[in-house]
Amino acid sequence: MKKYDVVIVGGGPSGIITGVTSKKIHPEKSYLLIKEEEKGLVPCGIPYIFHDLENIDQNQMGPKPFVDVGGEVLIDTVSRVNAEDKVITTESGKEISFEKLVFATGSTPLIPKFIEGYDLEGVEYIKKSYKYIDDLKKRVDTAKNIVVIGAGFIGVEISEQLAKFKDKSVSLIEAEPHCLYRAFSEDFAEKADEVVKEAGVHLYTSQKVEKIVGENGKAKGVILSSGTKIDADMVICSVGYVPNCDLAKEAGIDLSERGTIRVDNYFRTSAKDIYAVGDCSQTIGFITGQTDNIMLASTGTAEARVLGRNLFHIKFLRNFPGTLSVFSTEVNGVVFASAGAIEQSARAANVQYVVGKAQGMDRHPGKLPGASQLTVKLVVSPKNGAIIGGEILGGKSVGEMINIISLAIQKAVTVYELISFQVGTHPLLTTAPTQYLLIKAAENAIEDINIHDGKLI
Amino acid sequence: MKKYDVVIVGGGPSGIITGVTSKKIHPEKSYLLIKEEEKGLVPCGIPYIFHDLENIDQNQMGPKPFVDVGGEVLIDTVSRVNAEDKVITTESGKEISFEKLVFATGSTPLIPKFIEGYDLEGVEYIKKSYKYIDDLKKRVDTAKNIVVIGAGFIGVEISEQLAKFKDKSVSLIEAEPHCLYRAFSEDFAEKADEVVKEAGVHLYTSQKVEKIVGENGKAKGVILSSGTKIDADMVICSVGYVPNCDLAKEAGIDLSERGTIRVDNYFRTSAKDIYAVGDCSQTIGFITGQTDNIMLASTGTAEARVLGRNLFHIKFLRNFPGTLSVFSTEVNGVVFASAGAIEQSARAANVQYVVGKAQGMDRHPGKLPGASQLTVKLVVSPKNGAIIGGEILGGKSVGEMINIISLAIQKAVTVYELISFQVGTHPLLTTAPTQYLLIKAAENAIEDINIHDGKLI
């Protein structure tokens, strides 16, 4: 039986980064990464294979960086893990023994079995599979009326991209009052609705899909809770992702109450020498410390960098107390980003907060070509002024600006500190130094703290 | 004699922000801001009045935000400050008494009296004066051969913009080996040379202007230290700025060894109830703690926010130990930014450092339209891994990315912490989560620390 020091199950971003990071530190040890498909995809790049990229191959992502540092790759599916004897079995019949095992099994789209007609032909998903997406792209070619269920990031991005096909009608259905409502507060989410509509998508919010109707086993429309019927020859379900934890569960490894693989701060599962990282592993909310379900390549790779370094002994302390959700997207030329707590999530978690908001142009003077309006909102703990969340809306610069807020949250920066925050500004690149919006929002949050003095503090 | 609680001398960014911030907190107090010209300019926007802005009025900046909160403005020039009796005299003969006085007198271009011919007609400056720049713009219209002396930010930006006029020949002369050499290390500064040349500017580095030659009192060329003669009907000197401190000096207020007004952490001068902020006030280097000479609107306004809040009593602690230089610019479509220590300045200040560098695309996959190559360099203190500086080169996103580094420096974030830094990424906006460049650069710096273990630590 072949034996490896480290076996990684899964070839997504978290699996690859765990492997690369760890193998570089321990070149003397043997590493095997097992993945199901030869070719892999950049998961978040999938919406852009329809227009911006010339073909799906431009969106490939593979374990090359891992192979380059000496890791081995096996294309196969792990069918069983024996945690006690430290042996895995694959579908092709291989038995491989390991010293350390890492679950990086990722997630798959939630199949909405609660919707009648979910199993009709023409009901599709955004699966992180090269073969599936390659085929889906061909099926999209011939579709005329597409209904997308679920206006989270994937649903919004796919709808916006598909609506660029002038010969297709795209409808997007969301049960919440607004698009992207898990990541943005009311005013930002309203703006998201607006830009989605401007992109040519027929948007239905606060409505559920009651039924996918079919004919001869093929989807031909959906019926909404309002009674509205929408024709559809393709229905794309983007109602969430489910962590792939069956293998771990069958191996007797503990799961969290959310169904993810339970791990500690160093991604150790309940079984000795077995780890879990990325979408399949438990996350702990940064602000609340509660078990959470964040499935993002960015947080997964952050975890993987910690795990990769600490697989054999804890060498690099994990510096942040939990997983921070940081999101960004661009819809019809408008960029939305958020980090940490938003107003709804703060209220739901019973976290006291005030808000500071500021608006301005992302160039100075604002008449410079290419200038976009920028809106910044900070969510702040009123007692000590710590920044616990933020949202930004504007042009391309928002994509990196949100990471200033991310760092601020992770380092417990307060709005009082932001007053003397020294920034770089330039006419062609940023807001004016006199009104740098993160600082303005911090100033406004301080005013809010003062106004609500008696009430909140 | 009219009396004000607060008199601010100077209407640039630092003066205005001091006034706005303080008046909002103390609406009951009276504020007067005295400025020389009715109209003001966004200082860093001046290079863009030639092409990107339709006219100079689109680059106006005035004390409106200060007036909006109840401040008064006087257009006049202060000719004398009596620090003991707390009275100022203006050129128009007014006497005004004050409780608190703020010098925000800014800076003016250095006149290179060491260059023969500096006083010829046709020798120009980038003065922060509406009237002067308005006239200069007209004079530029008729100029054919323009020589710019000094390839700092202003010199580079002006040269790049003027070179866009197809009927003009623009030459840029720099005594240092590269453009922008005070703000960027060798490899970045070399790239700056490249893009300046690509912009159509004739660049002469490592060369001094020996003499500006004239005919009938008018400049007609320059002679370089190499002997090269360049024709010029306009010579723009951008060899630095001098803080405006004569008024303070004449009032008996202490100056620093650099000729700036000496201040403490709360911008108090040696005279009771008299303050100084912005370009005219002393700065203390963030890393070294030595007296420095940083003159930037961004750091000036950061100081002004601290001063404005603390003018009557120290309420908001200043959180950062010194002034951090954060620069950014865009030249011919390439963005350059730096924050804190660079390799040359670290060496000059005898600060031990290692470097971590990383390169990648600012979209993922990199084939997405609009993608630019991005290069990040971190300067790191090897002992504790603290980030003390950084440089970034790439597309527009660099303008805000540098502020992640700024915040990291100001919060003493270490490269070890960056390993688990959680960021937001998006295909259309950032590098891939698997290779987010600030984290990659941090990883490379750690490798460098390990390699140099015996040598540096």
Q: Do B422 and A406 touch (CB under 8 A)?
A: yes
State how far the Cα of B260 lies from the Cα of B283, in Å rounded to an integer. 8
User: Domain boundary residue among A186, A214, A239?
Assistant: A239
A93-97, A192-196, B155-159, B449-453: which range is least confident on average?
A: B449-453
State how far the Cα of B223 lies from the Cα of B216, in Å rounded to an integer. 17
Size of interface A-B (CB pairs under 8 A): 262
The band of B287, judged by pLDDT with boundaries at 50, 70 and 90, is confident
Contacts of B302 in chain A (CB under 8 A): 420-423
In whole numbers, what is the pLDDT of chain B averaged over residues?
Answer: 95
The band of B453, judged by pLDDT with boundaries at 50, 70 and 90, is low
DSSP codes, A226-283: TS-EEE-SEEEE-S-EEE--HHHHHTT--B-TTSSBP--TT-B-SSTTEEE-GGGB-E
Q: B99 lies in a domain?
A: yes
B273 and B348 in a single domain? The answer is no
Q: Is A397 on the interface with B (CB under 8 A)?
A: yes
Summarize the confidence of residues A415-442 as an average pLDDT. 95
Summarize the confidence of residues A62-70 as an average pLDDT. 96
Question: Which CATH number do you get for residue A353?
Answer: 3.30.390.30
Contacts of A16 in chain B (CB under 8 A): 434
B192 and B300 in a single domain? The answer is no
Q: B115 lies in a domain?
A: no
The band of A10, judged by pLDDT with boundaries at 50, 70 and 90, is very high
ipTM: 0.94
Q: Is A299 on the interface with B (CB under 8 A)?
A: yes
Number of domains in chain B: 3
Summarize the confidence of residues A164-186 as an average pLDDT. 97
A233 and A260 in a single domain? The answer is no
In whole numbers, what is the pLDDT of chain A averaged over residues?
Answer: 95
pLDDT tens profile B260-281: 999 999 999 999 999 999 999 9
Q: A189 lies in a domain?
A: yes
pLDDT tens profile A222-251: 999 999 999 999 999 999 999 999 999 999
A303 and A389 in a single domain? The answer is no
A133 and A102 in a single domain? The answer is no
Summarize the confidence of residues B207-211 as an average pLDDT. 97
Q: What is the DSSP letter of B86?
A: T
Q: B322 lies in a domain?
A: no
Percentage with pLDDT > 70 across chain A? 99
Residue-level pLDDT at B290: 85
N- to C-terminal Cα distance for chain B?
Answer: 64
Summarize the confidence of residues B302-318 as an average pLDDT. 92
Q: Is B204 on the interface with A (CB under 8 A)?
A: no
B26 and B67 in a single domain? The answer is yes
H-run or E-run covering A203:
strand A202-204
Work out the minimum CA distance from B111 to partner chain A, whole angstroms. Answer: 25
B263 and B219 in a single domain? The answer is no
Q: Which of A317, A369, A407 sits opposite B52 (nearest CB)?
A: A369
pLDDT score of B73 more than 50? yes
Domain that holds residue B430: 333-456
Q: A118 lies in a domain?
A: no
Which residue of chain A is at minimal alpha-carbon distance from B417? Answer: A319
Q: Do B434 and A306 touch (CB under 8 A)?
A: no
A128 and A233 in a single domain? The answer is yes
Summarize the confidence of residues B286-309 as an average pLDDT. 90
pLDDT score of A294 more than 80? yes
Beta carbons of B145 and B167 less than 8 angstroms apart: no
Question: Which CATH number do you get for residue B82?
Answer: 3.50.50.60
Summarize the confidence of residues B449-453 as an average pLDDT. 74
User: Domain boundary residue among A213, A239, A265?
Assistant: A239
Query: Residue A108's closest CA among A280, A266, A364?
Result: A280
A255 and A354 in a single domain? The answer is no
pLDDT score of A363 more than 80? yes
Q: Do B421 and A399 touch (CB under 8 A)?
A: no
3 state SS of A33: strand
pLDDT score of A211 more than 70? yes
pTM comes to 0.95
pLDDT score of B321 more than 80? no
B359 and B288 in a single domain? The answer is no
Contacts of A410 in chain B (CB under 8 A): 421-422
Q: B116 lies in a domain?
A: no
Query: Residue B28's closest CA among B8, B9, B6, B7?
Result: B6
Q: B196 lies in a domain?
A: yes
State how far the Cα of A133 lies from the Cα of A150, in Å rounded to an integer. 18
Residue-level pLDDT at B454: 42
Contacts of A363 in chain B (CB under 8 A): none
Residue-level pLDDT at A454: 42
Contacts of B52 in chain A (CB under 8 A): 368-369, 428
Q: Is A319 on the interface with B (CB under 8 A)?
A: yes
Q: A211 lies in a domain?
A: yes
Alpha helices, DSSP H, located in B245-296: 246-250
Which 326-365 residues of chain A touch chain B by CB within 8 A?
A: 326-330, 335, 337, 339, 364-365
The band of B456, judged by pLDDT with boundaries at 50, 70 and 90, is very low
B304 and B347 in a single domain? The answer is no
Residue-level pLDDT at B452: 67
B345 and B439 in a single domain? The answer is yes
pLDDT score of B114 more than 90? yes
Which residue of chain B is at minimal alpha-carbon distance from A424? Answer: B326
Query: Residue B376's closest CA among B358, B394, B361?
Result: B358
